[in-house]
Structure 1
Amino acid sequence: MMMETIMSRSLRLMFSGGVALGIGMLAQPAFAQDTTTAAPVQRVEITGSSIRRVDAETPSPVQVLSSEDLKKSGFTSVADVLSNITANGQGTLSQGFSGAFAAGASAISLRGLNSSATLVLIDGHRMAPNALADDAQRLFVDTSNIPFDAVERIEILKDGASAIYGSDAMAGVVNVILKKSVVGTTVSGEAGSTTEGGGATKHASITSGFGDLEEDGYNAFAALEYRHQNAISNGQRLGDGGWTTQDFTSQGGNRPLTPGVTPVPGKATPVVTLTPYFYIPGTKTVPFTASSTAFLQGPCSGFAAMIADQCKYINPNSIQPETENINLLTSFTKRLAGDWKLGVKASLFEAKTDVSPRFGATIPSSYAPYVAVSANQVPVPVGVSGTVRFPATYPGNTFGIPVRAAGYAGGPDRQDDVTSKNYRFVADLEGTIGEWDISTAAGWTRNKINESTAGTMDPRAFNAAINRPVNPYLIQGTNSASDIATIFPTLKQTDTSTLYFGDFRANRSLATLAGGDLGISVGAAYSHLDLNSPAADLVAEGLIAGNNAYAVGSQTNTSVFGEFAAPVLKTLELDGALRYDHFDNSSGAATPKVAFKWTPTSAVALRGSYSTGFRAPNPAENGKAGNAYVDVTNTYDAINCPGGPTAIKINGVGVPAANTNNCGVNTILQGATKNLDPEKSKSKTLGVILEPVKGWSTTYDLYQIEISKQIISGTPDFNNPVRAATVTPGQLCNDGLGGTTACNPAPTTPPILYYPAGYINANSTKVSGWELETRYKFNLGDKGSLAAKFDWSHTMSYLLTQPGLPDAQLAGTHGPSVVGGNTANPKDRIQATLTYEKGALAVTTGLDWVGRYDLTDPSIGVNDCQAGQTANTSWFNGDGVNGQNYCKVASFMTTKLVIGYKVSKQLFIHFNMDNVFNRQAPVDLNSYGSQAFPYNPSLHYAGAIGRTFNGGLTYSF
């Protein structure tokens, strides 16, 4: 039959590495077969449906990346592959963003709706999320901690799927499917680097298995993979223009991140140089001049040299961190009595990341009370604020009075090492009971993160050490090991997330309809998540500055679900699903889904779906969680500080608010909220599939996703501060000179500890767009074949609604950073590949294109170019005159080349090159993720890395 021919062609295309065309395609459902004349037909399960079916094309769009596609991508990590798909958008997380809360991790954000709206599975099962939440709120699965060579394929469902998978699947699902059986041994190795310096990569793996499941009744295999990637430092990418610019003064701008020079030329201000120097604290009567500075010995010879820009140096921060991955996967599959089959997989995926090596701590000018935060105590500021002054007798101080100093403090270099381990043990049992296909699974997964941070300073200990009358700590010189350990302690932090799950599903054909078998599926699932993510010990105690976010809590989910696939006509299939989830830390959620696939002719098919979805609040949002930070708003304690900060006097002198404990209070605690509702979503898709001639297929899908009750940070409650339990007897205030004195007036009410801020269900987001996908394979006869593929994702609208504010249209802008992740929101992303094959040779070339966007972000009131230039950086002053050339962030395109040759049945060699033409990242003045350069590491990372290449071989025996 023609329809069956088209169906088999679609199946072959999909599993040979194409993109699943989803709803409808041109394939008809399987018709009832006469078992006396036809062999049994293999049924498969596709992401987005629990029903096994002959037709791999379900009524929801599914993109399939086979292991061959992964190799042809030119990348060596799953994270790199996923970050470059066209459906990945705003809110994605890149390893190049070293300042992230979850530094060292990667996350995908389908439809630009943030990582929390995309569900990542392995073999159709949930994984424990990364133990460190992004922005201390969003839980996600770290895609950089998934093995590469053990992947059989990746299925990406671009549709709401909460009716099938439950929470978090509002924007779609990424299902990483690992190899199920291996016979024989395969060894592979490759190495590469960049042409611009740094970033050398080594990648090797061995996979070995034995036992034929059909003949021997079992299969066992193990896969071991190793990958190491060197860092790329800032110094290896410094240039004369473009994104490498650190000095915009020739264009009327500034140089805020250029080490060793004043941000604004001609305006003498204290800056950090490699040579420490003393200076008299600047006032109107004591300007910052040569006479008020005293340089020590070092590469910067003095004030004149600094003002003349002769003290520049290169900061060792990294553009790309050093990473190392070791992945071990073991699998055993056994046929049991009847047609039952047991599969067991155990794995350990380990990722080590050296987040950002850089110079050690700089000399502070003051310090404020740190806030002790943990799940077991009330947040409270520890200590008092103070100023850091080097006494008149300090070596090198020629002024005879206490002075300040600028430069590095002489401690160890700052080093952040993150080791993330994913443990996974899963057992799957499949078989039949009567007419029912039974599938059940149980699993345990854990993510454990060990983080070590060296080189962080305790400024109180530093201040005490430099003010010792005998043997003070020397910012230039040899210091005792005890001083180093006290002043620069190493912070240790261990975070874990553990997930237990079990599920049961039963499928069967219930009846025969005009178009084929009516398939149904019913089931139930259970999962339990434990999150234990404390702040580092000294940070939690309020003794040192650092990431003081913490989250401790659990979440239990029980669910029941059902699904049907009804080919009511030979040309029409109707699908439906319904799921109910109950969470112990939130309300329940019922999520239905309906879909259709209509194939009026062999050349045209229509598909569409409507579903609701949800995301339950996680333990970081409604458990025991908090994140203390300093608000820039000048607030004060109206009770202990009547009349405002100017009314406070110490020794008869007015003291600014920041210098007292009882007056200036600007600590905010972003805490969890118990009564949060789940986020809710509505998802719609409508598409057409065309296959006018053999070998050419095209899909065009419209989509709309609306998320309501988004969980966001609420406004701090300045009217109801949290105070200490009692007035502290004899409470002291800072005397403005680094010491303390009795508070005047003495407090009569307990002091304010912090202003609370919780999470609230407030915003809503509606995203709409379309995706075009077309591919064609040219048969060139004895000259080989040529396969072309083109993917285009376009965002038509990204509308954010916030209470009390006008709706914000964010498509093509830098927003919404108010929701999380300032990664920008381009309207368009395109991928195109062309593969030529002849005999043993295969050559693939590809293009990755990201559209332009502007600097505005209406979600935070940044509505024009000038505001965008200063929203997160200060390269320009936002004066409306300078920096106009950078109002639009230019489009960006890279080209790849992959060459493979099968030398023999056993040996395969390959050579890959990415960013062939060494395209440079466009300038982005509103991006803060790069830490040192004005470029966007989430979208234009390849333009910072530059041209990369690698080559290797694979041998099987």
Structure 2
Amino acid sequence: MLVLACAGGYGSAFAQDNGATNIDGASKKKLEAITVTGSLIPQTQIETFTPTTTITSEQLKANGFATVAQALQHITFATGSVQNAQNTNSFTPGAKTASFFGLNPGYIKILIDGRSLNNFPALYNSTEVINNLNTIPTDLVERIDFLPGGQSTLYGSDAIAGVINIIMKKKIDTPIVDVRYGWDGLNGGANRHISVANTFKFNKFTLTAGAQLESYQPIWSADRSWTSHYFENGSSSALANRDYLIYNTKVSNSYYMLDPNRCALTRGQFGGTEDLRNRPRQGEYCGSFYSPGTSTLSGDSRTASIYTRSTYDLSETTQWYGDFSYNFDREKWNNGASTLWWGSSSKYTYIYDPDLDDYINLQKSFSPEEVGGYQHAMYKTYERNYTLTLGAKGVLGTSDWEYDISVMHGEDKLVQRPLARFKGAMEDFFAVHVLGPDLGPDPHGNGFSTFRPNYEAFYTPISNSDFNSFAGYLTTRAKTWQNIGRMTLTHSSLAKMPGGDLGVAFLFEAGNEGWDYSPDLRLLTDGVWGQSAVQGAGHRSRFAVANEWRLPLLPELTLSASARFDAYKVASSTVSKPAYSVGLEYRPLGDLLLLRARYGTSFKAPTLADQFTGPSTYYVNTTDYYNCALLGYDPSVATINCPAKYNGVSVKGLQSGNPELRPISATNWSAGFILSPVPRMALAADFYHWNIKDEVAFEDGDKLLLQEAACRLGQLDISSPSCQSAISKITRNAKGELIGIYTPKVNVSNETIDAMNVSFNYVFSMGSFGEFSPSLNYTDILQHKYQPYAGDPYVDLLRSPYWSTDFKTKFSASLNWRLTKWGATLYASRYGRSPNYLVTLNASSPYTKPGEGTLPTWVTFNTSVSYKPLTNLDVSFIVNNLFNAMPPIDRSFPGTSSAPYNKKNYDVYGRMFSVEASYKFGR
């Protein structure tokens, strides 16, 4: 029998746009053919060879998820560690994403009604292209389908980990208004939400329209006891931040205390927590234990969304349609005092104080009182994302061929407004007020400038107007766009076969896409203190063709096959990639048991950022293997015995994108079953395998120098293309000394994954006690190995925390109850063990040193209760993290840590409440 998606848990499949149909195992009624995610061919079977997990809009709310992002981040497939709003010093804390099976967040294809979501213009972790899940209006979502495994044969590039298809509501029975207010059980995080939607019918024209407004107040680190101050119960004693510090070079790693007032003038800073501090064996300084509280854990967010779906029935066989969505997202966050500071070393490296006869450095953090309150010094982003689709669909003449032709234009524009300290103005301010005049070179001939600083002024807080004299906001603009023309031709019963109707589908796509990241010019000209940026821009055209067949070989056996060819053209260069897939469905016991398997390929085309990111410089200490070899030291001993002139030499590196990159390719297969022993019950288990090749990374400079040496020494053919390429990336001066290295992005990495997922869903009635629906979902990453560069040994990511802190297992369970006007859901998430902080520092032999280990599992509960006091009114009360469960505390973090947990895996938001009311006008 077909499986109903349960109201409280996640169903294994759910196909109709207007709700699932309950089918008794004995029913002989023929279903109308429908289109399901994972196939272009309309069909009567909901469960196919492709496992599908569905989250309905009712499930999303009942389980306590206020946004699409929250639902997808909690799904058990999302086992990977990801940067999020807590990682305020990352590149995209305002965007929300997820990592499925521990794979790169860019390996998931996200669709809205089967069409690609616009790419987020800023780069995740400075290199990866992602989609921002924060721009999807939750109340206008009908359901979310997730197809794990490679899906490129139908959906093209990016669909390596899987496909997420977000189905929007096409019809709303009556006008509806939904309002929600949420508040935090601790402090911060209050949120408000309102949405309106309706469907309008005018003869042959139908319009469904909705709008949503949402706001979230920030949660500051000061709002949580775990993050308001430096960790007190870790592997070392808590140490106050060094807010006013003078480094001493006479005694290594020690400080001078030169404040004549002994920090008396600073004690009003950081909320009155600043004072004289001491670090054992290092010295005294002025500092606060509470400076970590100045950062945000969750940002100040404002979103607005509009969605419309319109159709016009031109005839009985032809319909015109149009979809439009617009989303605005304003995010604000703060990284706090940890990155808002001044130091003399930026301009002078060291300065010489003749009264101390020593080379020193001065360092100062800016307090909330100096900044004017960190809430007034937030990093701001403004995102405007819209998509317009126009199309027509219908039947060709009197045939059974169905067509769907559409054109789509989408844009995502981003404005970033970070607070900056302008380099010249800030250096001038401290030169005048603290350092005084430059007295010339130091007398010891080391080339450092001489100053007699005014130490009392250094230890005196500056005014907010002084801070504003050298601080202000930058403006960086970025955008992505896509234009796609698409046509599908389908025939669900082209011919009769022993098992039923043969179905076929053809797809044709063509279009172009672009990306432009244009930083504020001051970031590119060294005009900003402590910040820099890399610009990039590029565009390309693309086309694709795909073909799908569904062949019912026998009543119990169906074969499905599909193939696709994609090509991307940049100037005169074309990158292309074919993909194919074969799937089997076997029903030996009718609807009681489905056995399924799938084998195919998937790929990810080089992103525009991978191809067109501009050059950036870095410095690296490396070994000049060529010159070491000339002195008689071969590579096996060069890093140990070669003279320092050529060993550990500091070299300027250059890295950039690479237009010559190849697509990332993957071979993937899955096998599993669905068992339905009684109506409305399903037990499903599936095994997944990926073998991914040619992943993109910056070229390894050390291996490049080894290759260059082998080429120059005649060990490799110097005239070969590989030798010529290696030599061209190494720069030497007239003396043959190494002075530069170029490491662009290249296709070098490989990884393999084995994973298993098990789910159970059941809906049953207990008469007057109501209807119950338990649901269980479990994901286990059985193996995950990664090869950074060709020739390297594979790294076992499940046992190498230096490389990965992903969860191996993830489990969720829910129990839903419905009785006339009442409803309730209890939802639980269990996160498996993860490595502690100390073992993530051990690159060579993890879990061998004292203190290295794993953290306990983390379990949280959400609950919701709903009631219908009136026919048209629903009210709900929702509690997230019912028992206020905090993450497992990691006591291996040192006392210099601002949070005793891994922010990419856990959060300390704690218990949160919300009340929601939904009113439908009319009957």
Give the TM interval when normalised to the shorter protein: 0.7 to 0.9
Q: CA deviation at 1:548?
A: 1.3
* Structure 1 Cα separation of the partners of residues 46 and 413 of structure 2: 37
Task: Find 1:950's aligned residue among 914, 918, 922.
Answer: 914
1:612-761 matches, within 5 Å, as 612-631=601-620, 666-716=651-701, 755-761=741-747
Q: Which residue of 2 aligns with 1:374?
A: none
What is the DSSP-based 3-state SS (H/G/I as helix, E as strand, rest coil) of the residue aligned with 1:539?
Answer: helix
Show CA shifts across 1:591-646 (max 9, x none). 1100010101132220010010111111111124344444466999999xx9xxxx
Structure 1 counterpart of 2:766: 780
Matched position secondary structure for 1:940: coil
Match for residue 167 of structure 2 among 169, 177, 189: 177
For residues 860-939 of structure 1, the aligned pairs below 5 Å read 862-865=843-846, 880-881=849-850, 883-884=851-852, 887-924=853-890, 932-939=898-905
Q: State how 1:335-414 maps to structure 2 within 5 Å.
A: 335-356=313-334, 358-359=336-337, 361-367=340-346, 386-387=348-349, 404-408=361-365, 410=370, 413=374, 414=377
Task: Give the CA deviation at 1:861.
Answer: 7.0
Evaluate the alpha carbon distance shift between residue 435 and residue 334 of structure 1 in structure 2; reply closer, same or farther with a 3 A threshold: same
Q: Which amino acid aligns with 1:386?
A: Y
Q: CA separation of 1:667/1:151 partners in 2, compared to 1, >3 Å: closer, same or farther? A: farther
Q: 1:298 aligns with which of 225, 247, 266?
A: 266
Task: Select 1:845's aligned residue among 820, 823, 826.
Answer: 826
- Counterpart Cα distance in 2 of 1:866 and 1:688: 37
Distance, in Å, in 2 between the alignment partners of 1:593 and 1:780 is 44
Q: Distance in 1 between matches of 2:357 and 2:305?
A: 61
Answer yes or no: is the 8 Å Cα contact 1:637–1:752 preserved in 2. no
Q: Is the 8 A contact 2:185 2:911 kept in 1?
A: yes
Report Cα offsets for 1:548-593 as digits up to 9, x if no partner. 1333112322011100111121111110001011111452111110
Question: Are the equivalent residues in 1 in contact too, given 2:275–2:286 (CA < 8 A)?
Answer: no
Deviation at 1:501, TM superposition (A): 0.9
**Any residues of structure 2 matched to 1:46-445 within 5 Å, and which?**
46-90=36-80, 92-211=82-201, 216-239=203-226, 246-247=230-231, 252-253=235-236, 255=238, 259-260=240-241, 271-272=242-243, 276=244, 279=246, 281-284=248-251, 288-290=255-257, 295=262, 297-299=265-267, 300-302=274-276, 311-315=288-292, 316-356=294-334, 358-359=336-337, 361-367=340-346, 386-387=348-349, 404-408=361-365, 410=370, 413=374, 414-433=377-396, 434-445=399-410
| Distance in 1 separating the partners of 2:278 and 2:500 | 86
CA drift of 1:464 comes to 3.0
Structure 1 window deviating more from structure 2 (903-912 vs 665-674): it is: 665-674
Q: Decide which moves more: 528-537 or 518-527.
A: 528-537
- In structure 2, do the counterparts of structure 1 residues 531 and 321 end up closer, same or farther at CA, with 3 Å as the change threshold? same
Q: 1:614 to 1:953 in 2, by over 3 A?
A: same
How far off is 1:289 after superposition?
A: 4.8
Pairing 1:497–2:480 present: yes
CA deviations over 1:660-686 (Å, ceiling 9, x no partner): xxx985543331122211111011111
- Residue 599 in structure 1 maps to residue 583 in structure 2: no
Tell me the equivalent position of 2:33.
43
Q: Report the CA distance between 1:42 and its aligned residue.
A: 3.0
Query: How far is 1:20 from its partner?
Result: 2.9
Q: Which amino acid aligns with 2:488?
A: R
Residue in structure 1 matching 2:783, options 793, 797, 810: 797
Q: 1:748 and 1:158, CA in 2 relative to 1: closer, same or farther beyond 3 A?
A: closer
Question: Residues 764-775 of structure 1: matches in 2 within 5 Å?
Answer: 764-775=750-761
5 Å matches for 1:414-563?
A: 414-433=377-396, 434-454=399-419, 456-468=420-432, 476=460, 487-508=470-491, 509-544=493-528, 545-563=530-548
Q: Is the 8 A contact 1:637 1:664 kept in 2?
A: no
User: Would the aligned equivalents of 1:182 and 1:220 in 2 still touch at CA under 8 Å?
Assistant: no
Aligned to 2:722: none
Change (3 A) 1:390 1:424: farther
How far apart, CA to CA, are the structure 2 residues paired with 1:914 and 1:144?
19
Is the 1:684–1:705 Cα contact (8 Å) retained in structure 2?
yes
1:70 aligns to what SS in structure 2? helix
- Provide the secondary structure at the position in 1 that maps to 2:547: strand
Give the distance between the partners of 1:222 and 1:836, measured in 2 at CA.
Answer: 31
Aligned equivalent of 2:641: none
Q: Is the partner of 1:163 in helix, strand or coil?
A: helix
The CA distance in 1 between the partners of 2:839 and 2:601, in whole Å, is 28
Residue pair 1:786, 1:835 contacting (<8 A) in 2 also: yes
Residues 719 and 571 of structure 1: CA distance in aligned 2, closer, same or farther (over 3 Å) = closer
The C-alpha deviation readout for 1:107-166, integer Å capped at 9, x for no partner, is 122222111211001110012201012122221111112111110111101121100011
**Residues 795-814 of structure 1: CA distance to partner in whole angstroms, max 9, x if unpaired?**
11112234333222222653
Shift of 1:233: 1.2
Q: Find 2:11's aligned residue among 19, 25, 33.
A: 19
SS in 1 for 2:69: helix
The normalised TM-score by structure 2 is 0.82
Cα offset, 1:209, TM superposition: 2.6
Give the AA of the match of 1:668. G
Count of matched residue positions in the alignment of Structure 1 and Structure 2 = 823
| Residue 842 to residue 861, structure 1, CA distance change in 2 (3 Å) | same
RMSD in angstroms over aligned alpha carbons? Answer: 3.8
Letter in 1 for 2:473: T
Farther-moved stretch of structure 1 (51-60 vs 502-511): 51-60
- Partners of 1:860 and 1:511 lie apart in 2 by 62
**C-alpha contact (below 8 Å) 1:162/1:614 kept by paired residues:** yes
SS in 1 for 2:80: coil
One-letter code aligned to 2:470: I
Q: Secondary structure, in 3 states, of the residue corresponding to 1:600?
A: coil
Q: Which runs of 5+ in 2 are unaligned?
A: 268-273, 437-453, 632-643, 708-732
- SS in structure 2 of the partner of residue 45 of structure 1: coil
Taking the aligned partners of 2:29 and 2:393, their CA distance within structure 1 comes to 22
C-alpha separation in 1, matches of 2:288 and 2:858: 34
Q: Structure 1 stretch 95-104 or stretch 837-846: which is displaced more?
A: 95-104
Separation (CA, whole Å) in 1 of partners of 2:657 and 2:371: 37
**What residue is the counterpart of 1:379 in the other structure?**
none
Amino acid across the alignment from 1:253: S
Describe the superposition over 1:663-716 as per-residue Cα deviations: whole angstroms up to 9, x where unpaired: 985543331122211111011111111111223211111111111111122123
Determine helix, strand or coil for the equivalent of 1:69: helix
Q: Answer with 298-307 or 788-797: which moved more.
A: 298-307
Alignment check: 8 A CA contact 1:107 1:141 kept: yes
Tell me the secondary structure at the aligned position of residue 586 of structure 2.
strand
1:587 aligns with 2:572: no
Residues 509-542 of structure 1, C-alpha deviations (whole Å, 9 max, x = no match): 2101122110100121013111001333211122
Q: Secondary structure at the match of 1:79?
A: helix
1 CA distance for matches of 2:357 and 2:842?
Answer: 50
> Contact 2:802 / 2:843 at 8 angstroms: preserved in 1?
no
Could you say if the C-alpha distance between residues 626 and 56 of structure 1 is closer, same or farther in structure 2, counting changes exceeding 3 Å? farther
Q: 1:415 and 1:402, CA in 2 relative to 1: closer, same or farther beyond 3 A? A: farther
* Contact 2:231–2:899, Cα closer than 8 Å, also in 1: no
Per-residue deviation at 1:768?
A: 0.6
Give the SS at the match of 1:584: strand
User: How high is the TM-score relative to the length of structure 1?
Assistant: 0.79
CA spacing shift, 1:390–1:480, aligned 2, 3 Å: farther
Q: Which amino acid in structure 1 is aligned with residue 793 of structure 2?
A: P
Query: How many Å apart are 1:78 and its aligned residue?
Result: 0.8
- The code of the aligned residue for 2:334 comes to S
- Post-superposition Cα deviations, 1:173-207, rounded to whole Å, max 9, x if no partner, equal 00111111234311111111221211111111111
